[in-house]
Structure 1
Amino acid sequence: MSMVVINTSNDFNSTDFVAQMRGFQASDEARQKLFADMLERYTALLEEHETLKHDYSSERDIRRNYQREVDLVQGEVAQIRRELGNSSFVLALIDGDGVIFQDALLNAAANEGGSEAASRLQHAIRNHITSLYDNSGNWPIIVHIYLSLDKLAQKLASVGLIEKPSDLRKFAQYFSLNQSLFTIVDVGHGKERADHKIKEMLRTFNDNPTCRHIVFGGCHDAGYLLNLDQYKHHAAKAAHITLLESTPAWRGFAELPNFRRTRFDNVFRNTELPDYGYRMQSHPSIQPGLPSIPPGFQSSPRGTPTIPSPATTVSSLAAPANPTPDSLDSSWATVGKNGVPPKEKISIAPKSRSNKRWAYYNKDEQRLDEPLAPKDKAAYDAIDQRMKKAGKNLCNHWHLNKGKCVNGAKCHFQHEPKLTSAELNALQYKTRSLACKDRYCQNVHCYLGHQCSFEREQGWCPFPDTCNLRHTHGMDKVKASRWNEDGEMEQL
C-alpha cells in the first residue's frame, strides 16, 4: 500500500489536495475489497464445514446401519448353519437290479432277512460317513433301493436264493420296518425305470446343501457314467459322492477322478447271480458277517460263494434215468424244485397252449411286436370307406380291446357295427403305424406300435427319416422273454 504524504506547509495547493484525497479513497477501496474477500472466503468455509459435518453425520449413520445389518446377517448365517446342521442327512441311491444282497440275507427273506440287511447297511454307511466327516454322528441316513421287484424275485427264486418269489416282498417289508428312512421302491417292469429315478434323484440332491453326502450304488451299469461324468472335474461335487461297488465295476467308473469309493461286502454280493439254480439250505438264523454258502458253491478267499460247477448244476436238475414224456415235464419244468412253488415257478419246459395274451421283450427288455396276419386289401379299403362315410374314425379301444371303451356312449368315435376278423386285422395294421410312448410297455393289450414292421420283416425301412417308429431302428429283434396279463414271465 502506498504511503500518502500530507503537505503541512502554508502554501495550499489544490492539485496536491485532490491527489491526496484520491489516495485516501483508493486506500479505503482496497481495504473494503480486502474485507469483502475475507468475508466471502469465511462464508464459503462455513458452508463447506456445514456440508462436511452433514456428510460425516450421514457416513456415521450409514456405517452404524451397515454394522447393524452385518450383525443381523451374521446372526442369520449362524442360524442357517445351525438349521443346516440339524437338517443334514446322507442319501444312498442303489440300483437293486444289479446290487444284490448277500445270499444269507436273501435265504432268510421270509424270516426277517430284510431286517438284518437294513441293520447291516445302516452300520456300513454310518461307519463310512464317520470316516469322512467330523460331527456326522447325528446325520440321518436315507436309503432308496430301486428295483423291478417281480422280475428280481423270479430270478432269485430260479437260482434258489429265496424259496418263492413272494419272499422278496416280505424281505422289502422287513427292510423298511427296521429303518424308518429305508425304502425299497418297486419300479415295475422295464430296464430304464430304475435308472431314470436314480438319475433324477442324483441330479436333484447333489446340489442340495442339506444333503451332505450321497452313496451311489450303480457301478454295474455303464448307463450312469454320463450322469457322473459332469462332476469329475468339479472336485468338491465329486467328493460329495461315494461310488459303492458290489460286483466288479465298469472300467469307466474306475477312471472317474475325485470320487470316493467303498464296498459293503457284508451287505451285498461281490459276484453276479448264477445262471442256474441250486437247492437251498434252511437258515434258522443269520449270523452277521458270516454269509452262508449253498451246496455246489466253493468258498472264495473273500468268503463269498462262487458260481457252481457245471457238474453240480446239471446233477441238481437231472432228468430221471428212464425218462418218459411225463417225467421229463415234471423234472425240467421247474427250476429248483424245493425253491419255487408250482404257482410261482419260472418254466423252462415247452410252453403250454393257452388263450393267454403275451407281451414279448428282447434282452434289453424293450417291447417287441408279434407279426400280424397278412393284410386283406378289401377289408382295409372297407374300413377306410366306413370312416370316410361316417366322417369319424373307428374307436380303437372298442374294437381292439374286447369292446372296452372308458368313454362309453360319449365316445366320439365309431363303435358299432362290429368289425369282421379281416377288418380287425386291417385296423391293427393302422394302429401299429402309431408309436407307443413306452418302449418297455407292459400293457399286454396295447395295440400301438413298439417296433418298425418294415425293419422287422425285411431288415430295412424305406422311410428312415419319416417313419413313426424310427427310434426303434437297429433295436435287437430277438425275443428273450415274455409276460402275460397275469404277470407271469417266461424266458425264451
Structure 2
Amino acid sequence: MTDLDSYFKQLEAFRVSDEAREHLVSEVLEKYKVLSEEHANLANDYLSERDIRRNYQKAVDEQKQEVREYERQLEASSFVLALIDGDGAIFQDVLLQAAGGDGGSEAASRLYHAIRNHVASLHSNSGSWPIMVQIYLSLDKLAMKLAQVGLLRSPTELRAFAQRFSVNQPLFSIIDVGQGKERADHKIKEMLRTFSDNPTCRHIIFGGCHDAGYLLNLEQFKHNEMKAARITLLETTPAYRGFTDLSHFKRARFDVVFKSEPLPEATPSGFLPTSNAAVFVPSSNGYTPATTAPPPTQSPLLFRTPTQPSPRASVVSPVPNTASSTSTGPDTNGDASWATVGKTGAAPNGNISIAPTTKNKKKKYAYYNKEEQRLDEPLPTRDAASATSLDERMKRTGKKMCNHWHLGGNCENGKFCQFQHEPKLTTAELNALRYKTRSLACKNRYCENIDCYLGHQCALERDYGKCPYPDTCHLRATHGMDKTKFVRYDKDGNAEYA
C-alpha cells in the first residue's frame, strides 16, 4: 500500500508537471504569435515608410532643383529701378548747358555710375543687375522754367537733352507726362506700388523727397524693415521734413548729377526782355527769336511756368501796375496781386503779360500753396437767421440737405435721393449750407475740382491762428499747413501766380 500511494503521488506530480509544461508551451506559442503579427506589421510599416521617404526625398530633390532654377532665373532677371520726379530733381547746370544736348548723355553716364556704386555698397552680387531709370516730368513746363531762370538758351534745348539722355543707356527714359497737376506724381506712385513687391526688382531708388505728397505712399513701408531696406530715398534739393522720420530707408545724394538747391523763384533780370535782349517764340521750326518787349518800368513780378502754356505765348513783358485790388470776394481775392499766365494771358501780339488782371472779376479760382495743397477762400459772413432756418428745416423733416443738388447743381439719385432737394434754398441759406460742408474734409489735399464744396483747410486755424478742437476737428490733418497762396487756377487750367 505504501508503494501504491507513492506511485499515485508520483503520477499526480507528473500530471501537474505536464500541465505546467503545456501551459508554458501554450503561453510561448501565444506570445510568438503576437510577436509575429507585430513583426509583420512593423515590416509593412517599414516598407511603407521607406517608400514614403524615397518619394519624399525625390520630391525634395526636385524642389531643390526648382528653387535653384528659380534663383537662377531671378538673378538673371533682377534689376534696379530708379523712379525720379524730374519736376523737382533738376540736373546740374553744367549738364543742362552743354552744347547740342550732350549734357544729356553725360548726365545718363553719371547717373548710371552713381546708382551702380550705391547699389554695390548694399548688395555684393549686384554687378550684373541692369539699371532702369524713369524720370517723369512736364517737359515743356520745365523747359520754359529753365529758360526763364537762364539755365537754357532756348526751351527746345531740354528736348535735345532728354533725347541724348535716353539714348545713352538702353533702360534710361525721360517721360513727358504733359501739362497738368500731379501727373508725374500719379505715375511714380503707381510704379512704386507695382514694383515694391516685385521680387525681380531688387532695389528702388526713389527721387521724390522734395514733394510731401509721396509720404503717404512710403508710410506703408515705414515699419517693415525688410521692404524699407529695398528702397533708397534720393535727396536732391533739401528733403521735405516728413521724410526724415522714415528711419529704416537708405539714403543717397547724387550731387554730381542733380542740383542740391531748388530753382530760383524770381526770373533773373538777365532773362526778362529789354531793349537789346532776344527772346524765343515757338514756330513751326521750333523756337525762333522774336521781337523784344519794351524795358520794364518797375521791378518785375514773380513769374513761374504756366500749367498750360499757350502755344503762341512765350515772351514775358513786364507792365506797370496801374490797377489796384478792389475785390475781396472768394472769386476775385485781389486780382491785382496775381500775375496772369496761360491761355487767357496772351496779348494780341502773342506775348504773355504778367500785368495785374482787372477783368473777369467773377471768375472762379482754385487756390494752392507752394506744396500744391488746396486752400479755401473765406466764405461771406453767415446770416444767423438763415442758418437757424436751415437747421430747423432739417430737424423738422428729419432729412439733411442734398449737397450735390443745392451746391453742386446736380444729383444722380434724382427722386430716389434720401436727402432734401426742395424747396430751393435762398442765397443766405446756401451760404449757411456751405459753412456746414466746409467743416467736412475733402479726401484729396490736392483737389483740382474748382467747384468742390468740401473743406481743404481748417477755417478756424486760418482765420484765428489756432483751432480749439485739435483732436476732433475733421480737418485736423491740415493743421500747420502752409496757408500762403502761391498759385491759382481757373476752370480752363490757366495759372496765375502771386
Calculate the TM-score normalised by the size of structure 1.
0.65
Q: Which protein has the larger Cα radius of gyration, Structure 1 or Structure 2?
A: 1
Which structure has the higher relative contact order (CA within 8 Å, separation 6+)?
1
1:456 to 459, 462, 476: 462
Higher mean Cα deviation, 374-383 or 261-270?
A: 374-383
Q: Distance in 1 between matches of 2:396 and 2:102?
A: 66
Distance 1:318 1:60, change over 3 A: closer
Q: Distance in 1 between matches of 2:397 and 2:166?
A: 57
1:12-31 matches, within 5 Å, as 13-31=3-21
Q: Distance in 2 between matches of 1:432 and 1:87?
A: 51
1:131-280 matches, within 5 Å, as 136=126, 139-145=129-135, 155-162=145-152, 179=170, 182=173, 184=175, 186=177, 188-189=180-181, 194=185, 205-206=195-196, 208-218=198-208, 230=223, 234=225, 240-247=230-237, 262-278=252-268
1:372 deviates by 3.0
Kindly indicate whether the alpha-carbon contact (under 8 Å) linking 1:101 and 1:269 is maintained by their aligned counterparts in 2.
Answer: yes
1:211 deviates by 1.9
Q: State the match for 1:288 in structure 2.
A: none
Paired letter, 1:212: R
Distance 1:147 1:70, change over 3 A: same
Instruction: Please list the CA deviations of residues 361-384 of structure 1 after superposition, one character each: whole Å capped at 9, or x if unmatched.
Output: 234432222223334567667878
1:417 deviates by 9.2
1:122 deviates by 4.3
Instruction: Please list the CA deviations of residues 88-114 of structure 1 after superposition, one character each: whole Å capped at 9, or x if unmatched.
Output: 221213343432123355458996976
How many residue pairs get matched? 436
Kindly indicate whether the alpha-carbon contact (under 8 Å) linking 2:96 and 2:103 is maintained by their aligned counterparts in 1.
Answer: yes
1:89 to 79, 82, 89: 79
Q: Distance in 2 between matches of 1:255 and 1:456?
A: 27
Q: Distance in 2 between matches of 1:406 and 1:74?
A: 61
Q: State the match for 1:469 in structure 2.
A: 475
1:300-339 matches, within 5 Å, as 327-328=295-296, 332=300
Instruction: Please list the CA deviations of residues 58-77 of structure 1 after superposition, one character each: whole Å capped at 9, or x if unmatched.
Output: 23222212211212211221
Distance 1:240 1:475, change over 3 A: closer
RMSD: 5.3
Kindly indicate whether the alpha-carbon contact (under 8 Å) linking 1:359 and 1:444 is maintained by their aligned counterparts in 2.
Answer: yes
1:260 deviates by 5.9
1:320-359 matches, within 5 Å, as 327-328=295-296, 332=300, 340-342=314-316, 349-355=354-360, 356-359=363-366
Instruction: Please list the CA deviations of residues 102-148 of structure 1 after superposition, one character each: whole Å capped at 9, or x if unmatched.
Output: 33554589969767755654454346546765665653433344567
Q: Distance in 1 between matches of 2:107 and 2:133?
A: 12
Instruction: Please list the CA deviations of residues 172-191 of structure 1 after superposition, one character each: whole Å capped at 9, or x if unmatched.
Output: 68866875674647595369
Kindly indicate whether the alpha-carbon contact (under 8 Å) linking 1:148 and 1:189 is maintained by their aligned counterparts in 2.
Answer: no
Q: Distance in 2 between matches of 1:334 and 1:476?
A: 19
1:17-96 matches, within 5 Å, as 17-96=7-86
Distance 1:414 1:67, change over 3 A: closer
Q: State the match for 2:441 in structure 1.
A: 435
Higher mean Cα deviation, 206-215 or 176-185?
A: 176-185
Identity of aligned residues (%): 56
Q: Residue 82 of structure 2 aligns to a residue in which SS?
A: strand
Kindly indicate whether the alpha-carbon contact (under 8 Å) linking 1:164 and 1:341 is maintained by their aligned counterparts in 2.
Answer: no
> Which ranges in structure 2 are unaligned for 5 or more consecutive residues?
276-293, 306-312, 317-340, 347-351
